[in-house]
Chains A and B, each alone.
Chain A
Amino acid sequence: MTDHIETDVVIIGAGPVGLFAVFELGLLDIKCHLIDILPKVGGQCAELYPEKPIYDIPGFPMVTGQGLVDNLMAQIEPFHPTFHLNEMVESLESIGTPEAPLFRVKTSENGTTFTCKAVIIAAGGGSFQPKKPPIDNIEAYEGTGVYYAVRKMEMFRNKKVLIVGGGDSALDWTVNLQPIAKRLTLLHRRDAFRAAPHTVEKMRSLVASGDMDLHLGQVTSLKGEAPVLEGAVIRKDDGSEFTIDCDVMLPFFGLTMKLGPIADWGLNLHENVIPVDTEKFETNVPGIFAIGDINTYPGKLKLILSGFHEGALAAQKVHRYVYPEKRLLFQYTTSSTSLQKKLGVAA
Protein backbone atom coordinates (compact mmCIF):
# COMPACT_ATOMS: atom_id res chain seq x y z
CA MET A 1 0.00 0.00 0.00
CA THR A 2 1.25 3.47 -0.82
CA ASP A 3 1.62 5.86 2.10
CA HIS A 4 0.38 9.38 1.56
CA ILE A 5 1.65 12.24 3.70
CA GLU A 6 0.51 15.85 3.76
CA THR A 7 2.99 18.33 5.17
CA ASP A 8 4.15 21.92 4.80
CA VAL A 9 7.59 21.25 3.33
CA VAL A 10 9.51 18.31 1.94
CA ILE A 11 13.28 18.63 2.27
CA ILE A 12 15.27 16.51 -0.15
CA GLY A 13 18.59 15.63 1.46
CA ALA A 14 19.37 15.11 5.14
CA GLY A 15 22.90 16.52 5.15
CA PRO A 16 23.90 19.36 7.46
CA VAL A 17 22.21 22.01 5.33
CA GLY A 18 18.92 20.09 5.07
CA LEU A 19 19.03 19.46 8.84
CA PHE A 20 19.57 23.12 9.69
CA ALA A 21 16.71 24.10 7.37
CA VAL A 22 14.46 22.09 9.73
CA PHE A 23 15.53 24.43 12.53
CA GLU A 24 14.87 27.62 10.58
CA LEU A 25 11.48 26.33 9.40
CA GLY A 26 10.63 25.09 12.89
CA LEU A 27 11.12 28.55 14.38
CA LEU A 28 8.44 29.72 11.92
CA ASP A 29 6.03 26.88 12.86
CA ILE A 30 6.57 25.11 9.56
CA LYS A 31 6.48 21.33 9.62
CA CYS A 32 8.66 19.21 7.40
CA HIS A 33 9.61 15.74 6.27
CA LEU A 34 13.12 14.90 5.08
CA ILE A 35 13.98 12.31 2.45
CA ASP A 36 17.44 10.86 1.90
CA ILE A 37 18.77 8.04 -0.23
CA LEU A 38 21.29 7.02 2.45
CA PRO A 39 20.28 4.82 5.38
CA LYS A 40 21.42 7.49 7.86
CA VAL A 41 21.30 11.27 8.23
CA GLY A 42 24.32 13.52 7.68
CA GLY A 43 24.90 13.35 3.93
CA GLN A 44 28.46 13.80 2.77
CA CYS A 45 29.63 14.72 6.31
CA ALA A 46 28.56 11.38 7.73
CA GLU A 47 29.21 9.29 4.64
CA LEU A 48 32.51 10.63 3.35
CA TYR A 49 34.30 12.14 6.31
CA PRO A 50 32.67 11.28 9.66
CA GLU A 51 36.03 11.31 11.47
CA LYS A 52 37.64 14.19 9.58
CA PRO A 53 37.92 17.51 11.37
CA ILE A 54 36.11 20.58 10.01
CA TYR A 55 37.55 23.93 11.09
CA ASP A 56 35.24 26.54 9.53
CA ILE A 57 31.93 26.09 11.33
CA PRO A 58 31.21 29.24 13.36
CA GLY A 59 31.50 28.58 17.08
CA PHE A 60 33.37 25.30 16.64
CA PRO A 61 37.15 25.69 16.45
CA MET A 62 37.07 22.06 15.34
CA VAL A 63 34.30 19.55 14.88
CA THR A 64 34.24 16.21 13.07
CA GLY A 65 31.75 15.51 10.28
CA GLN A 66 29.76 13.18 12.52
CA GLY A 67 30.08 15.54 15.49
CA LEU A 68 28.48 18.33 13.49
CA VAL A 69 25.64 16.05 12.37
CA ASP A 70 25.05 14.88 15.96
CA ASN A 71 24.85 18.47 17.18
CA LEU A 72 22.47 19.46 14.40
CA MET A 73 20.22 16.52 15.29
CA ALA A 74 20.16 17.69 18.91
CA GLN A 75 19.44 21.26 17.77
CA ILE A 76 16.41 20.31 15.65
CA GLU A 77 15.03 17.77 18.11
CA PRO A 78 12.33 20.19 19.42
CA PHE A 79 10.76 20.29 15.96
CA HIS A 80 10.35 16.52 15.59
CA PRO A 81 11.03 16.25 11.87
CA THR A 82 10.14 12.96 10.19
CA PHE A 83 12.89 11.20 8.26
CA HIS A 84 12.39 8.93 5.29
CA LEU A 85 15.77 7.26 4.84
CA ASN A 86 16.86 4.79 2.17
CA GLU A 87 14.44 6.48 -0.21
CA MET A 88 15.14 8.41 -3.37
CA VAL A 89 12.81 11.10 -4.64
CA GLU A 90 11.76 9.89 -8.04
CA SER A 91 9.28 12.52 -9.15
CA LEU A 92 8.39 16.05 -8.20
CA GLU A 93 5.26 17.42 -9.82
CA SER A 94 3.77 20.87 -9.49
CA ILE A 95 0.01 20.73 -8.94
CA GLY A 96 -0.58 24.30 -7.69
CA THR A 97 -0.15 27.82 -9.06
CA PRO A 98 2.82 30.20 -8.86
CA GLU A 99 0.93 32.20 -6.20
CA ALA A 100 -0.14 29.16 -4.19
CA PRO A 101 2.35 26.39 -4.96
CA LEU A 102 1.49 22.81 -4.20
CA PHE A 103 3.62 19.80 -5.03
CA ARG A 104 3.34 16.06 -5.23
CA VAL A 105 6.56 14.28 -4.35
CA LYS A 106 7.01 10.55 -4.84
CA THR A 107 9.82 8.30 -3.68
CA SER A 108 10.99 5.17 -5.41
CA GLU A 109 11.78 2.66 -2.71
CA ASN A 110 8.37 2.12 -1.13
CA GLY A 111 6.32 4.56 -3.14
CA THR A 112 5.57 7.11 -0.40
CA THR A 113 3.82 10.18 -1.81
CA PHE A 114 3.79 13.62 -0.23
CA THR A 115 1.69 16.69 -0.85
CA CYS A 116 3.41 19.89 0.29
CA LYS A 117 3.42 23.64 -0.21
CA ALA A 118 7.14 23.98 -0.76
CA VAL A 119 10.11 21.78 -1.56
CA ILE A 120 13.64 22.49 -0.42
CA ILE A 121 16.32 20.68 -2.37
CA ALA A 122 19.38 20.31 -0.13
CA ALA A 123 20.92 17.44 -2.03
CA GLY A 124 24.58 18.53 -2.05
CA GLY A 125 26.26 16.97 -5.07
CA GLY A 126 23.17 14.90 -5.86
CA SER A 127 22.31 11.44 -4.65
CA PHE A 128 24.82 8.84 -3.55
CA GLN A 129 24.82 5.94 -5.95
CA PRO A 130 27.09 2.92 -6.33
CA LYS A 131 30.32 3.56 -8.21
CA LYS A 132 30.27 1.68 -11.47
CA PRO A 133 33.59 0.35 -12.70
CA PRO A 134 34.42 1.82 -16.12
CA ILE A 135 34.07 -1.41 -18.08
CA ASP A 136 32.80 -1.28 -21.66
CA ASN A 137 29.20 -2.40 -22.04
CA ILE A 138 28.73 -3.11 -18.31
CA GLU A 139 25.22 -1.58 -18.50
CA ALA A 140 24.11 -4.39 -20.81
CA TYR A 141 24.59 -6.90 -18.00
CA GLU A 142 23.13 -4.83 -15.15
CA GLY A 143 20.22 -6.59 -13.46
CA THR A 144 21.04 -9.94 -15.05
CA GLY A 145 24.74 -10.52 -14.48
CA VAL A 146 25.98 -7.40 -12.70
CA TYR A 147 24.57 -6.17 -9.40
CA TYR A 148 25.78 -3.30 -7.20
CA ALA A 149 23.87 -4.46 -4.13
CA VAL A 150 22.50 -7.70 -2.74
CA ARG A 151 18.76 -7.51 -2.19
CA LYS A 152 18.01 -11.24 -1.98
CA MET A 153 20.77 -13.73 -1.29
CA GLU A 154 18.74 -16.53 -2.87
CA MET A 155 19.30 -14.96 -6.29
CA PHE A 156 22.89 -16.13 -6.08
CA ARG A 157 22.30 -19.74 -5.05
CA ASN A 158 24.28 -22.20 -7.20
CA LYS A 159 25.79 -19.38 -9.25
CA LYS A 160 29.41 -18.73 -10.06
CA VAL A 161 29.83 -15.43 -8.24
CA LEU A 162 32.62 -12.91 -8.73
CA ILE A 163 32.87 -10.25 -6.03
CA VAL A 164 35.11 -7.26 -6.74
CA GLY A 165 36.44 -4.96 -4.02
CA GLY A 166 38.32 -4.94 -0.75
CA GLY A 167 36.08 -3.09 1.69
CA ASP A 168 33.43 -4.17 4.16
CA SER A 169 30.67 -4.74 1.60
CA ALA A 170 32.89 -6.90 -0.60
CA LEU A 171 34.19 -8.98 2.31
CA ASP A 172 30.84 -9.28 4.11
CA TRP A 173 29.11 -10.57 0.98
CA THR A 174 32.04 -12.85 0.24
CA VAL A 175 31.60 -14.73 3.51
CA ASN A 176 27.79 -14.58 3.33
CA LEU A 177 27.40 -15.80 -0.24
CA GLN A 178 30.22 -18.36 -0.25
CA PRO A 179 28.07 -21.12 1.35
CA ILE A 180 25.27 -20.81 -1.22
CA ALA A 181 27.26 -19.98 -4.36
CA LYS A 182 28.38 -22.74 -6.72
CA ARG A 183 31.82 -21.16 -6.64
CA LEU A 184 32.82 -17.79 -5.26
CA THR A 185 35.77 -15.70 -6.34
CA LEU A 186 36.94 -12.52 -4.68
CA LEU A 187 38.97 -10.13 -6.81
CA HIS A 188 40.86 -7.19 -5.38
CA ARG A 189 43.52 -4.82 -6.63
CA ARG A 190 46.05 -5.75 -3.93
CA ASP A 191 46.54 -8.22 -1.12
CA ALA A 192 45.40 -5.84 1.62
CA PHE A 193 41.81 -5.34 2.72
CA ARG A 194 40.19 -2.50 4.59
CA ALA A 195 37.32 -4.57 5.98
CA ALA A 196 36.77 -5.76 9.56
CA PRO A 197 39.77 -7.98 10.49
CA HIS A 198 37.66 -10.98 11.55
CA THR A 199 35.86 -10.97 8.17
CA VAL A 200 39.18 -10.80 6.33
CA GLU A 201 40.43 -13.70 8.47
CA LYS A 202 37.33 -15.75 7.66
CA MET A 203 37.81 -15.07 3.93
CA ARG A 204 41.46 -16.13 4.14
CA SER A 205 40.56 -19.37 5.89
CA LEU A 206 37.99 -20.14 3.16
CA VAL A 207 40.71 -19.58 0.56
CA ALA A 208 43.17 -21.75 2.51
CA SER A 209 40.64 -24.60 2.72
CA GLY A 210 39.98 -24.39 -1.02
CA ASP A 211 36.35 -23.34 -0.58
CA MET A 212 36.71 -20.11 -2.54
CA ASP A 213 39.22 -18.31 -4.76
CA LEU A 214 41.05 -15.05 -4.26
CA HIS A 215 42.74 -13.24 -7.14
CA LEU A 216 44.60 -9.97 -7.36
CA GLY A 217 43.90 -7.74 -10.35
CA GLN A 218 41.21 -5.69 -12.01
CA VAL A 219 38.39 -6.44 -14.43
CA THR A 220 39.07 -5.05 -17.89
CA SER A 221 36.16 -6.51 -19.84
CA LEU A 222 33.19 -8.85 -19.58
CA LYS A 223 32.45 -11.97 -21.59
CA GLY A 224 29.16 -13.49 -22.72
CA GLU A 225 26.42 -12.36 -25.03
CA ALA A 226 24.58 -9.60 -23.13
CA PRO A 227 22.54 -9.82 -21.02
CA VAL A 228 24.01 -13.24 -20.15
CA LEU A 229 27.31 -12.93 -18.31
CA GLU A 230 29.80 -15.76 -18.73
CA GLY A 231 33.07 -14.40 -17.48
CA ALA A 232 35.34 -11.49 -16.69
CA VAL A 233 38.77 -10.72 -18.10
CA ILE A 234 41.22 -9.81 -15.34
CA ARG A 235 44.43 -7.84 -15.73
CA LYS A 236 47.13 -8.46 -13.14
CA ASP A 237 49.64 -5.84 -12.00
CA ASP A 238 52.31 -7.27 -14.32
CA GLY A 239 50.01 -6.66 -17.30
CA SER A 240 49.14 -10.31 -17.93
CA GLU A 241 45.48 -11.24 -18.38
CA PHE A 242 43.30 -14.23 -17.55
CA THR A 243 39.57 -15.01 -17.48
CA ILE A 244 37.37 -15.96 -14.53
CA ASP A 245 34.16 -17.83 -15.38
CA CYS A 246 31.19 -16.29 -13.62
CA ASP A 247 27.41 -15.95 -13.91
CA VAL A 248 27.25 -12.84 -11.78
CA MET A 249 29.63 -10.06 -10.82
CA LEU A 250 29.14 -7.89 -7.76
CA PRO A 251 31.37 -4.80 -7.84
CA PHE A 252 31.58 -3.04 -4.46
CA PHE A 253 33.51 0.15 -5.14
CA GLY A 254 31.75 2.46 -2.73
CA LEU A 255 29.52 5.40 -3.53
CA THR A 256 29.70 8.43 -5.74
CA MET A 257 27.29 11.30 -6.34
CA LYS A 258 25.01 11.70 -9.32
CA LEU A 259 22.40 14.35 -9.96
CA GLY A 260 19.86 11.58 -10.62
CA PRO A 261 16.16 12.34 -11.15
CA ILE A 262 16.59 16.04 -10.16
CA ALA A 263 17.52 16.61 -13.81
CA ASP A 264 13.96 15.72 -14.84
CA TRP A 265 12.00 18.10 -12.62
CA GLY A 266 11.78 21.03 -15.01
CA LEU A 267 14.30 23.13 -13.11
CA ASN A 268 16.87 25.30 -14.83
CA LEU A 269 20.25 23.64 -14.50
CA HIS A 270 23.73 24.96 -15.05
CA GLU A 271 26.45 22.30 -15.15
CA ASN A 272 24.61 20.01 -12.74
CA VAL A 273 23.76 22.74 -10.22
CA ILE A 274 20.56 24.72 -9.84
CA PRO A 275 20.58 28.50 -10.33
CA VAL A 276 18.71 30.40 -7.59
CA ASP A 277 18.19 34.03 -6.60
CA THR A 278 20.09 35.36 -3.62
CA GLU A 279 17.11 36.87 -1.82
CA LYS A 280 15.24 33.67 -1.11
CA PHE A 281 17.21 30.87 -2.84
CA GLU A 282 14.20 29.93 -4.91
CA THR A 283 14.62 28.13 -8.25
CA ASN A 284 12.87 29.07 -11.49
CA VAL A 285 9.82 27.20 -10.16
CA PRO A 286 8.03 29.17 -7.41
CA GLY A 287 7.88 27.07 -4.25
CA ILE A 288 10.94 24.96 -5.07
CA PHE A 289 14.07 26.12 -3.28
CA ALA A 290 17.65 24.90 -3.58
CA ILE A 291 20.17 25.40 -0.79
CA GLY A 292 23.72 24.21 -0.12
CA ASP A 293 26.13 22.71 -2.63
CA ILE A 294 23.40 21.92 -5.17
CA ASN A 295 22.70 25.59 -6.00
CA THR A 296 24.60 28.30 -7.80
CA TYR A 297 24.48 32.11 -7.92
CA PRO A 298 27.03 34.88 -8.45
CA GLY A 299 29.63 34.57 -5.72
CA LYS A 300 28.54 31.12 -4.54
CA LEU A 301 30.92 29.44 -2.11
CA LYS A 302 30.45 25.74 -1.52
CA LEU A 303 30.67 25.92 2.25
CA ILE A 304 28.41 24.39 4.90
CA LEU A 305 28.28 27.88 6.37
CA SER A 306 26.75 29.26 3.16
CA GLY A 307 24.13 26.52 3.14
CA PHE A 308 23.02 27.48 6.66
CA HIS A 309 22.55 31.11 5.61
CA GLU A 310 20.64 30.06 2.50
CA GLY A 311 18.29 27.87 4.54
CA ALA A 312 17.47 30.76 6.87
CA LEU A 313 16.53 33.03 3.97
CA ALA A 314 14.58 30.34 2.11
CA ALA A 315 12.52 29.71 5.25
CA GLN A 316 11.27 33.32 5.21
CA LYS A 317 9.75 32.90 1.75
CA VAL A 318 8.44 29.42 2.55
CA HIS A 319 6.49 31.02 5.42
CA ARG A 320 4.58 33.16 2.91
CA TYR A 321 3.52 30.07 0.98
CA VAL A 322 2.55 28.09 4.08
CA TYR A 323 0.84 30.96 5.95
CA PRO A 324 -0.19 33.44 3.23
CA GLU A 325 -2.52 35.27 5.61
CA LYS A 326 0.04 35.75 8.41
CA ARG A 327 2.54 38.58 8.73
CA LEU A 328 6.01 37.35 9.54
CA LEU A 329 7.67 39.07 12.47
CA PHE A 330 11.41 38.72 12.69
CA GLN A 331 12.54 37.56 16.13
CA TYR A 332 15.76 36.54 17.85
CA THR A 333 16.09 33.30 19.82
CA THR A 334 17.99 35.17 22.55
CA SER A 335 15.06 37.44 23.37
CA SER A 336 11.82 36.00 22.00
CA THR A 337 9.79 34.06 24.56
CA SER A 338 7.69 32.66 21.75
CA LEU A 339 10.75 31.20 19.98
CA GLN A 340 12.12 29.92 23.26
CA LYS A 341 8.83 28.12 23.92
CA LYS A 342 9.11 26.41 20.56
CA LEU A 343 12.60 25.32 21.50
CA GLY A 344 11.36 24.05 24.84
CA VAL A 345 13.62 26.34 26.86
CA ALA A 346 11.02 28.81 28.22
CA ALA A 347 7.98 28.18 30.35
Chain B
Amino acid sequence: MGVIHVTDRAGQRHTLEAIEGWRVMEIIRDWGLPIEGLCGGACECATCHVFVSEEWLDKLYPPTEEEEDQLDTVMTRPNSRLSCQILWTPELDGLEVTLAPTGA
Protein backbone atom coordinates (compact mmCIF):
# COMPACT_ATOMS: atom_id res chain seq x y z
CA MET B 1 0.00 0.00 0.00
CA GLY B 2 1.22 3.50 -0.75
CA VAL B 3 0.00 6.92 -1.79
CA ILE B 4 -0.04 9.36 -4.66
CA HIS B 5 -0.30 13.13 -4.31
CA VAL B 6 -2.64 14.88 -6.68
CA THR B 7 -2.96 18.65 -7.05
CA ASP B 8 -6.39 19.54 -8.36
CA ARG B 9 -7.30 22.42 -10.68
CA ALA B 10 -7.89 24.75 -7.72
CA GLY B 11 -4.34 24.09 -6.51
CA GLN B 12 -5.33 21.90 -3.57
CA ARG B 13 -3.09 18.90 -2.92
CA HIS B 14 -4.74 15.58 -2.07
CA THR B 15 -3.00 12.48 -0.78
CA LEU B 16 -4.73 9.38 -2.14
CA GLU B 17 -4.23 5.79 -1.12
CA ALA B 18 -3.01 3.84 -4.12
CA ILE B 19 -3.58 0.21 -5.00
CA GLU B 20 -1.03 -1.90 -6.84
CA GLY B 21 -2.13 -2.76 -10.37
CA TRP B 22 -4.55 0.17 -10.62
CA ARG B 23 -3.97 2.90 -13.12
CA VAL B 24 -3.34 6.35 -11.73
CA MET B 25 -6.45 7.55 -13.58
CA GLU B 26 -8.53 4.92 -11.78
CA ILE B 27 -7.10 5.90 -8.38
CA ILE B 28 -7.88 9.59 -9.00
CA ARG B 29 -11.37 8.79 -10.24
CA ASP B 30 -12.07 6.37 -7.40
CA TRP B 31 -11.29 9.09 -4.85
CA GLY B 32 -13.78 11.38 -6.55
CA LEU B 33 -11.41 13.97 -7.95
CA PRO B 34 -12.63 15.58 -11.18
CA ILE B 35 -10.85 13.58 -13.85
CA GLU B 36 -12.94 12.86 -16.91
CA GLY B 37 -11.47 9.61 -18.27
CA LEU B 38 -14.07 9.66 -21.03
CA CYS B 39 -12.90 6.51 -22.83
CA GLY B 40 -12.58 4.56 -19.60
CA GLY B 41 -8.82 4.16 -19.85
CA ALA B 42 -8.53 2.91 -23.44
CA CYS B 43 -5.97 5.60 -24.35
CA GLU B 44 -8.44 7.09 -26.79
CA CYS B 45 -9.45 10.49 -25.46
CA ALA B 46 -6.69 12.24 -23.44
CA THR B 47 -9.20 13.50 -20.86
CA CYS B 48 -7.09 12.03 -18.02
CA HIS B 49 -4.15 14.31 -18.86
CA VAL B 50 -1.86 15.09 -15.91
CA PHE B 51 1.45 16.86 -15.36
CA VAL B 52 3.95 14.62 -13.57
CA SER B 53 6.42 16.26 -11.18
CA GLU B 54 9.92 16.47 -12.67
CA GLU B 55 11.50 14.17 -10.08
CA TRP B 56 9.12 11.37 -10.98
CA LEU B 57 9.31 11.57 -14.79
CA ASP B 58 12.28 9.22 -15.17
CA LYS B 59 10.72 6.62 -12.88
CA LEU B 60 7.81 6.07 -15.27
CA TYR B 61 7.80 3.92 -18.36
CA PRO B 62 8.14 6.26 -21.34
CA PRO B 63 4.93 6.98 -23.24
CA THR B 64 4.02 4.57 -26.01
CA GLU B 65 3.36 5.77 -29.55
CA GLU B 66 -0.35 5.35 -28.79
CA GLU B 67 -0.10 7.67 -25.77
CA GLU B 68 1.91 10.22 -27.79
CA ASP B 69 -0.83 10.17 -30.44
CA GLN B 70 -3.41 11.07 -27.81
CA LEU B 71 -1.17 13.71 -26.26
CA ASP B 72 -1.16 15.37 -29.69
CA THR B 73 -4.81 16.25 -29.12
CA VAL B 74 -4.23 18.38 -26.03
CA MET B 75 -2.02 21.27 -24.98
CA THR B 76 1.00 19.55 -23.49
CA ARG B 77 3.99 20.47 -21.36
CA PRO B 78 7.22 18.47 -21.30
CA ASN B 79 5.92 16.60 -18.22
CA SER B 80 2.53 15.69 -19.72
CA ARG B 81 1.30 12.12 -19.36
CA LEU B 82 -2.01 10.32 -19.59
CA SER B 83 -2.80 8.99 -16.14
CA CYS B 84 -4.60 5.96 -17.61
CA GLN B 85 -1.25 4.79 -18.95
CA ILE B 86 0.56 4.89 -15.60
CA LEU B 87 0.19 1.60 -13.78
CA TRP B 88 0.75 2.14 -10.08
CA THR B 89 3.38 -0.07 -8.44
CA PRO B 90 5.00 0.34 -5.00
CA GLU B 91 8.01 2.00 -6.70
CA LEU B 92 5.65 4.90 -7.44
CA ASP B 93 4.82 5.45 -3.75
CA GLY B 94 4.60 9.24 -3.30
CA LEU B 95 4.08 10.02 -7.02
CA GLU B 96 3.18 13.68 -7.53
CA VAL B 97 0.84 14.70 -10.34
CA THR B 98 -1.25 17.76 -11.18
CA LEU B 99 -4.54 17.60 -13.08
CA ALA B 100 -4.26 19.40 -16.42
CA PRO B 101 -6.82 22.15 -17.04
CA THR B 102 -10.10 20.90 -18.54
CA GLY B 103 -9.69 20.59 -22.29
CA ALA B 104 -5.92 20.68 -21.98
Does B71 belong to the interface (CB within 8 Å)? yes
Does B95 belong to the interface (CB within 8 Å)? no
Stretch at the interface among A151-159, A186-194, A306-314: A186-194
| B93 CB to nearest A CB, Å | 30
Residues of B in contact, count (CB < 8 Å): 19
| A160 CB to nearest B CB, Å | 22
Bound state CA distance, A165 and B45, in angstroms? 15
| A162 CB to nearest B CB, Å | 15
Q: Are B42 and A52 in contact (CB under 8 A)?
A: yes
Q: Are B72 and A194 in contact (CB under 8 A)?
A: yes
Interface of B is mostly: loop
Stretch at the interface among B11-19, B73-81, B82-90: B73-81
| B79 CB to nearest A CB, Å | 12
Q: Are B76 and A189 in contact (CB under 8 A)?
A: yes
Considering the complex, give the chain A residue whose CB is closest to the CB of B101: A134
Does A211 belong to the interface (CB within 8 Å)? no
Does A67 belong to the interface (CB within 8 Å)? no
Contacts of B45 in A (CB 8 A): 48, 256
- Contacting residue for B73 out of A52, A135, A253, CB 8 A: A253
Q: Are B39 and A48 in contact (CB under 8 A)?
A: yes
Does B98 belong to the interface (CB within 8 Å)? no
Q: Given A194-B69, A257-B38, verify A48-B44 contact (CB < 8 Å).
A: yes
Q: Which residues of chain A (31-71) have a CB below 8 Å from chain B?
A: 44, 48-49, 52
Q: Which bracket fits the contact residues of A? A: 20 to 34
Contacts of A132 in B (CB 8 A): 103
Bound state CA distance, A73 and B44, in angstroms? 24
| A288 CB to nearest B CB, Å | 24
Contacts of B102 in A (CB 8 A): 134
Does A201 belong to the interface (CB within 8 Å)? no
Does B104 belong to the interface (CB within 8 Å)? yes
Q: Are B47 and A52 in contact (CB under 8 A)?
A: no
Bound state CA distance, A237 and B79, in angstroms? 11
Bound state CA distance, A150 and B70, in angstroms? 22
Q: Are B76 and A48 in contact (CB under 8 A)?
A: no
- Contacting residue for B68 out of A49, A52, A190, CB 8 A: A190
A131-B73, A165-B73 known; 4 new pairs, CB 8 Å cut-off, are A44-B38, A44-B39, A131-B103, A254-B73
10 residue pairs A–B, Cβ–Cβ below 8 Å: A44-B38, A48-B44, A131-B73, A134-B103, A135-B75, A188-B72, A189-B72, A237-B78, A253-B73, A253-B74
Which residues of A line the B interface, CB within 8 A?
A: 44, 48-49, 52, 125, 131-135, 165-167, 188-190, 192, 194, 218, 237, 253-254, 256-257
Q: Please provide the 7 A-B residue pairs with the shortest distance between their CB atoms, ordered closest to farther.
A: A134-B104, A48-B44, A254-B73, A253-B73, A134-B103, A48-B39, A49-B42
